[in-house]
Structure 1
Amino acid sequence: MGVLTDYFRAADDGAVLAAIEHAEGGPLTGGPRPVFDGFEAKGVDPDVVLGQLIAVVRGLEWAVDLVGETPVWPTTPPPGREGPVDEDDPWATGPWVMRLARAVRDTLADLADAEVPAVSARWAAEAEELDAADGEELRPLVEDLAALARRAREADEDLYCWTCL
């Protein structure tokens, strides 16, 4: 089972909630009429894989709470949903939307173009979840994340991640 992830920028949680409700939970980027500026980054979950990139950029050891996510959607369990969630429950597979900490946005926005090749290579070496991708394969993704973060910061917006299993 793969993790589907889209990273995008938005003005605030309210804009995201309105869009996700209209899209009935579906992705908010791509397609003929994307709702938000962003892109698909399949398998790059915020906690682990993106967190490993942030650790590399900051020169830190990876930690599960490095990205600092705030749940945005769903805001509450579906009607009638009580008790623990089992694996077959759609509530357990998403989609979910998380707002990433502003420090993550700024870390990516501050990444200089000249640093991208070295950062991509270190990320590839340290993130076993990337299935032995090399730095050159990851370079476009790092460039896209940094560019999205720059646009978000310039517009005083936040970065978000839409995720579904």
Structure 2
Amino acid sequence: MSVLTDYFSAGSDGVAATAVDYVDGQPGLLDLTPEDVAAGKALYRVSPDEATRPRVKVAHSRTLVVQSKGVDPTGLARLEEILTGRSYDEVSADPRQAALIGPARHEELDGGMVLSVTDTLRDALASLEPSALPQVAREWASAEFDATAGDSLTLFLVALTELARRAAADSNRLYCCISF
């Protein structure tokens, strides 16, 4: 199964939860129509290398979205450990670490869900110096992925860091919409 991740910021959990909502057949916060999701999955089948590269888009709602494949919010715990010095267990115990934001009930999971990203990680990313990104990506790749993933993780971190900076400046939180 192909899992696509869309990282974004929102002012509240309630607003973030609309990323998976359809109201009167219209997409929610991220403007992800079934066709958008299908196109992302098709890209992965046709060109896996291209699909795994992070892409930045601005949704019709003007929400900045960092699209990725293979970096789900549970994997961000190790990144947060690297950036903040908090232990992995402490990060994992944070109630906002990959907490289910939407839909409200597990029974309503139907092709997508929204998970939270900790404010601690948002702040650490927002203050990260651009020159440190390649080294952080290499450490994260070695700890969580494959050591050869450093270059692709650097691209992801560049985009996620910019998203975190904007979120922090607007007093927003970070989230991830997962489509499967």
TM-score under structure 2 length normalisation: 0.69
Q: 1:107 aligns with which of 117, 124, 133?
A: 124
Q: Which residue number corresponds to residue 79 of structure 2?
A: 53
Structure 1 position 159 matched with structure 2 position 161: no
Which of residues 67, 70, 77 in structure 2 aligns to 1:43?
A: 70
CA distance in 2, matches of 1:162, 1:115: 27
Q: Secondary structure at the match of 2:88?
A: coil
Post-superposition offset of 1:137: 2.5
Question: How much has 1:109 moved relative to structure 2?
Answer: 0.9
Q: Distance in 2 between matches of 1:71 and 1:62?
A: 19
**Runs of 4+ residues over 6 Å off in structure 1:** 23-27, 29-33
Contact 1:27 1:162 in 2 (8 A): no
| Counterpart Cα distance in 2 of 1:54 and 1:40 | 19
Unpaired runs of 5+ residues, structure 1, are 80-90
Distance 1:162 1:126 in 2: 24
Partner of 2:93: 65
Q: Does 1:120 align with 2:137?
A: yes
Q: Is the 8 A contact 1:29 1:38 kept in 2?
A: no
Deviation at residue 68 of structure 1 after TM alignment:
1.9
The superposition leaves residues 102-135 of structure 1 with CA deviations (integer Å, 9 ceiling, x where unpaired) of 112111112111211110111111113xx55332
- Contact 1:6 1:27 survives alignment (8 Å): no
Query: Aligned-residue CA RMSD in angstroms?
Result: 2.9
Say whether the 8 Å CA contact 1:26–1:95 is kept in structure 2. Answer: no
Letter in 2 for 1:5: T
Q: Higher helix proportion, which one?
A: 2
| Count of paired positions | 150
Aligned position for 2:49? none
- The 1-side partners of 2:4 and 2:88 are apart by 22
Structure 1 residue 4, shift from structure 2 partner: 1.6
Report if aligned partners of 1:29, 1:40 keep a CA contact under 8 Å in 2: no
Distance 1:99 1:78, change over 3 A: same
Structure 2: which 5+ runs fail to align? 37-56
In 2, the alpha carbon distance for the partners of 1:152 and 1:94 equals 26
Residue 88 of structure 1 is matched in structure 2 by none
Tell me the secondary structure at the aligned position of residue 69 of structure 2.
coil
CA contact (8 A) 1:149 1:159 kept: yes
Identity among equivalent pairs (%): 31
Deviation of the 1:101 alpha carbon: 2.1
